[in-house]
Structure 1
Amino acid sequence: MAMESLTTNSSSVVSEFEGTLLKNQDSYSYFMLVAYEVSGLIRFTIMLFLDVLGYKNAALKLMIFVATAGFRELEIERVARAVLPKFYMDDDHLGADEVIGMELIVNGFGFVPGLIREVDIDQSVLNRVGNMFDGRRPHLGLARPAKTISTTFLSLCEVIL
């Protein structure tokens, strides 16, 4: 049994979203689009200033907060379903059995306070991918160029492209 848990899943591919499946290497433009569609020019302008902060955990959490705080979960879902697919069609597209991402906190009234459940985004995704494969290693990992792989879920993969 222990030997079986260490084997790879030969038909599995895991990938980062931005920079691999999508041409754009950062999620800034997508958060900016959601901010504009949900609330208009004020949040859009704030998002312009956030672009200079980079895309580490704290800056990403701040972008999520600005783009989503105070709106109903259903409104964010509506915008995401209506607007984002047309931008995704311009990028690469692959079918997926599972998608692991950050989860927005939603209060009891259906409003989003702009916070996510994860404290350390990279560690959370690493743990969730590891749990999904139940001790087995994904066969292939697709990484964006110049990404530090040792701290991400891609470190679980047998082959990384």
Structure 2
Amino acid sequence: MVTSNPFPTVEKCPSVGREKHTVVADMDGTLLIGRSSFPYFALVAFEVSGVLRLLFLLLASPLAGLLYYFVSESAGIQVLIFATFVGMKVSDIESVARAVLPKFYSSDLHPESWRLFTSCGKRCVLTANPRIMVEAFLKDLLGVDMVLGTEIGTYKGRATGFVCKPGVLVGKNKADALKKAFGETKPDVGLGDRHTDIPFMAMCKEGYLVPPNPETKAVAIEKLPKPVIFHDGRLVQKPTPLMALLIILWTPIGFPLACLRIAAGSLLPMSIVYYAFWALGVRVT
């Protein structure tokens, strides 16, 4: 949470006449309403490697939280990156980022940030999230021109679980990445939501904070520049830590139950199939 307000809030920023302006925005808590990236790491973990990887990520999340709040934001994110990606094929990560994540990202866009973001002619997103996770959504669906994110380490086509230099893009690393990308040119508008965004926002001609507000309603999907196509995926809701735990607990019950339902439909006489389905929790209409 931002402890001081050197910048006005995004609601006070006019969006008219910015067609030639460049905007640089953070992602979690800024362009997106949600401030936590855990659900998106959990989606990658579950879709690529299944319930065991999701369990590994869930077990690592308390350590990530402790490091995030009491040591450094960078250390906490590194734990999530390691638990999610270590050993994964880079091609599998890219597939999930392109086919699954856009549906969930697009349902969480902050209306005020989106208003300002789309009013600018050139758009850049500067995020601590791994670039491989967010780039497809940002460029293909939102028309973002440049994505600056954390780069994950790879070896022979697989993720090592570590990050490349300069590390996770938070605080000074964000400002350095912006300086490297833009040189001496100052972006017109910087958007952030926490104190670690202030260094890069200070490099912009104007800076605006996006205050947390649980009552904020996301931008309607119909207002996005391109339609969202949900190609694949086994989850219909974002897996919060609680939902991830429920998925893990349900798996030992759900698989045998599914086998019983299949067996009942295939082997039992039709005269008693209806009652067997009813007993197994299948609704027949």
Could you tell me the TM-score, scaled by structure 1's length? Answer: 0.83
Q: What is the CA distance between 1:95 and its match in structure 2?
A: 2.8
Q: What is the CA distance between 1:81 and its match in structure 2?
A: 1.0
2:153 maps to: 105
1:69 maps to: 86
Q: How do 1:114-133 residues align onto structure 2 when only pairs under 5 Å count?
A: 114-117=161-164, 118-119=166-167, 121-122=169-170, 123-133=172-182
Matched, 1:83 2:96: no
2:187 maps to: 138
Q: What is the CA distance between 1:50 and its match in structure 2?
A: 3.6
CA RMSD, aligned part only? 1.9
Q: Aligned letter for 2:160?
A: P
How many pairs were matched up? 149
Q: Distance in 2 between matches of 1:155 and 1:137?
A: 10
Q: How do 1:32-47 residues align onto structure 2 when only pairs under 5 Å count?
A: 32-47=42-57
Q: What is the CA distance between 1:69 and its match in structure 2?
A: 0.5
Q: Distance in 2 between matches of 1:150 and 1:59?
A: 16
Q: What is the CA distance between 1:71 and its match in structure 2?
A: 1.2
Q: Aligned letter for 2:102?
A: P
Greater share of helix: 2
Larger radius of gyration: 2
2:244 maps to: none
Could you tell me the TM-score, scaled by structure 2's length? Answer: 0.49
Q: Aligned letter for 1:139?
A: D
Sequence identity percentage = 34
CA distance 1:58–1:149, shift in 2 (3 Å): closer
Q: Distance in 1 between matches of 2:176 and 2:24?
A: 14
Q: Aligned letter for 1:154?
A: M
Any conservation in 1 of the 2:26–2:197 contact (CA below 8 Å)?
A: no
Q: Distance in 2 between matches of 1:150 and 1:16?
A: 8
CA distance 1:149–1:125, shift in 2 (3 Å): closer
Q: What is the CA distance between 1:59 and its match in structure 2?
A: 1.2
Matched, 1:24 2:34: yes
> Which ranges in structure 1 are unaligned for 5 or more consecutive residues?
1-9
Any conservation in 2 of the 1:72–1:110 contact (CA below 8 Å)?
A: yes
Deviates more, 1:23-32 or 1:93-102: 93-102
Q: CA offsets, 1:111-161, max 9 Å, x none? A: 1111110335323322121122211221111112xx115753222122111
Q: Distance in 2 between matches of 1:151 and 1:120?
A: 16
CA distance 1:150–1:95, shift in 2 (3 Å): closer
Q: Distance in 2 between matches of 1:113 and 1:154?
A: 31
Q: Distance in 1 between matches of 2:150 and 2:197?
A: 20
> Which ranges in structure 2 are unaligned for 5 or more consecutive residues?
1-19, 115-141, 209-285
Any conservation in 2 of the 1:138–1:157 contact (CA below 8 Å)?
A: yes
